[in-house]
Structure 1
Amino acid sequence: MKFTVKLYTPNDFDVWNLFVAKAKNSTFLFHRNFMEYHSDRFHDFSLMVFKDSVLKAVLPGNRVGEVLHSHQGLTFGGLLLEPNIGFEQVNEMISAILEFLPKQGIKQFNVKTLPSFYCKSAANEMTFMLQNKGASLAKTFMVLAVDYAHPLSIHKTKLKHCKRNSDMRFVIKESTDFSLFWNEVLQPRLQSKFDTRPVHSLEEIQLLRERFPKNIKQFDIFYEDRILAGITIFENELVVKSQYGATTKEGEKLRAFDYLFIHLIKHFQGKGKHYFSMGTVMDDSFEQGYNPGLLKQKEELGCDLYLQEIYSLKLA
């Protein structure tokens, strides 16, 4: 029996989430409770692929006119696959999807791939098939992450300052309340430095924390009861990501931000994580297309460079 493709509906909520929990290339961001916190902003067009009435793959997506995106409200996406699935099966699935989409009026398919270090096992089938079907590489992002399989390679200058600042009596706290960091550090810093605001409002991040208390965490660093910096963590099974990070001007002078980062890198290494991701450094306001200062900072904290690709496939 061939693979069949259908659109996700709210009736599929539990089936979808059960599949996401076991997929080999998934994170909690693909849980419907995460995807739907901003459902008012996107026309959901997520796909489910079945064989003999058994769900074999899902694709989080949203539609804009005649274009399907592998969801623009998420950092990454693509076809989420069950463990131990063979390449030929994935090939048949993608063929079924590409046959299904034009019937729905879709003329272009854009996919933002999942960085390789998020996968429980290799999951390159879709990338190969997109290239094989003639998809063009629309853009490549640099993603920085610490690989715990290797000894930490934090720059000696940062380690020296960290050791010196250990006498400062900094206090690091994990908090369930994001308001202090959002209101006193993150929002003012983004506004003054970049004239922007966080992707998530305070209300949204608090809502997501309530839905995913084991995955979304806030760490703040204080000196004499004054908050100096904070880092918001998105924690997955194998990977920890610093989703937000910011410091006050006082924290910058005291190098509290680096101190907090180094503390968390070592903290999650001790918890058996495989990677500590610091996200991308892409920034179109720079001539190079990325922020060189931010790149240097993340490299000096021990990050290696990984690639995240966006592919675009014309269907008509």
Structure 2
Amino acid sequence: MNDINIVRYKVSNYGEWNQFVAKAKNATFLFHRDFMDYHKDRFHDFSLLVYKKNKLIAVLPANVLNEDLYSHQGLTYGGLVLKEQIKFDAVLRVFMELLKYLSIAGFKSLVLKQMPVIYTRVFTAEIDYLMFILKADLFRKDTLSVIDLATNRVNISSNRLEGCRRAIKHNLVVKEEGDFELFWDSILIKNLKEKHNAKPVHSLEEITLLKKCFPNNIRQFNVYDNDEIVAGTTVFETEFVAHSQYISGNENNNAKGSLDFLHHYLIKEIFKDKMYFDFGTSNENNGLNINKGLQFWKEGFGSRTVTQDFYKINVNNYHLLNNVFI
């Protein structure tokens, strides 16, 4: 008898979903429905809830694109979100039933954007092992620049410290702000347009809305020179990690060291009690290349490499999981 039941997310599941991700072993506030749904008009949501004997044991934040189901494309990371107490054999059963469900529903592939290990409450490498058994295609691998704050081995380079000294010499000041308008309109939008011909992933209206929903998780720090903004970063704060979601400074950053000064302050003061500080990726071209200058700057603060994996699974391969245990 199959005691696993999988259903699509509905608005009526809002409370149950959020209560589950709050206690899951590999979830952050990004999986709260208020975060997922702020851009629901951009994605065809096909999130799933997995029950065992009517108890919720896993959820999959996901969206449909063509004939594939994606670990939600509107999120930095995702994958199968699991209850903290779950054991390997149950994870295997859940994943097999999930692939079988998707196969019957007519999907060709499941595309997973795995959560980097620094964000998890408990080890979650079961899925990585199952990817091996399922002959999944590891089609992308990003590198994150992460400082291990818990070991107190933050070795900041002389270049970054010199930038801090320049900032102090020019009397720069760091302030945490409650709104994002000044940073977005004066620094971020302009720089992304000029350097990358791109826009922020979040519009000003969207990041403002998210701040209202998650006031303790989304924080803005600006650097000022005589009350004029010269740099800033938007930080997404989770249980173990402070992540710089956006980092940008004006054309005088190198001369006055504003970004060096800002991040030295965040690492040494504001987030010193976190386990990790995540500068994010320096990858381009779907992970195949790394921006060398950006990587060099991040590593100057003592960050080292953590990877994030992206898998594509043929959903019809679920039968390969039948023979794992002997």
Shift of 1:61: 0.4
Q: Which residue in the other structure is 2:305 paired with?
A: 305
**Structural mapping, 1:62-81, within 5 Å:** 62-81=63-82
**Structural mapping, 1:230-249, within 5 Å:** 230-249=232-251
C-alpha contact (below 8 Å) 2:79/2:113 kept by paired residues = yes
Percent sequence identity is 39
**Structural mapping, 1:163-178, within 5 Å:** 163-178=165-180
Q: Which residue in the other structure is 1:218 paired with?
A: 220
| Superposed CA RMSD | 1.4
> Which residue identity is paired with 1:298?
K
Counterpart secondary structure, 1:160: helix
Deviations 1:205-226 (A, max 9, x none): 1111111101001000101111
Q: TM-score, normalised by structure 2?
A: 0.93
Counterpart secondary structure, 1:17: helix
> Which residue identity is paired with 1:314?
N
Identify unmatched segments of 5+ residues in structure 1.
Answer: none
Distance 2:191 2:233 in 1: 13
Q: How many equivalent residue pairs?
A: 314
Distance 1:132 1:285 in 2: 24
Deviates more, 1:120-129 or 1:11-20: 120-129
Q: Which residue in the other structure is 1:21 paired with?
A: 22
Deviates more, 1:123-132 or 1:233-242: 123-132
Shift of 1:229: 0.1
Q: TM-score, normalised by structure 1?
A: 0.96
User: Which of the residues 191, 194, 197 maps onto 1:192?
Assistant: 194
User: Which of the residues 178, 181, 195 maps onto 1:179?
Assistant: 181
Q: Which residue in the other structure is 2:119 paired with?
A: 118
Q: Which residue in the other structure is 2:11 paired with?
A: 10
Q: Which residue in the other structure is 2:83 paired with?
A: 82
Deviations 1:215-270 (A, max 9, x none): 00100010111111000000001111000010011233211111101111112443
Distance 1:199 1:56 in 2: 31
Counterpart secondary structure, 1:209: helix
Distance 2:196 2:159 in 1: 27
Shift of 1:164: 4.6
C-alpha contact (below 8 Å) 1:172/1:222 kept by paired residues = yes
Could you list the runs of 4 or more consecutive aligned residues of structure 1 that deviate by over 6 angstroms after TM superposition?
Answer: none
Q: Which residue in the other structure is 1:39 paired with?
A: 40
Distance 2:301 2:309 in 1: 24
C-alpha contact (below 8 Å) 1:62/1:69 kept by paired residues = yes
C-alpha contact (below 8 Å) 1:185/1:229 kept by paired residues = yes
Counterpart secondary structure, 2:252: helix
Deviations 1:99-151 (A, max 9, x none): 11112111111101000010111111112112211211111111111111231
Counterpart secondary structure, 1:241: strand
Q: Do the aligned partners of residues 97 and 285 (structure 1) sit closer, same or farther apart at CA in structure 2, a change above 3 Å counting?
A: closer
Counterpart secondary structure, 1:296: helix
Shift of 1:285: 9.4
Distance 1:310 1:285 in 2: 10
Q: Do the aligned partners of residues 3 and 268 (structure 1) sit closer, same or farther apart at CA in structure 2, a change above 3 Å counting?
A: farther
Q: Which residue in the other structure is 1:107 paired with?
A: 108
Counterpart secondary structure, 1:242: strand
Distance 1:206 1:26 in 2: 22
Distance 2:49 2:24 in 1: 13
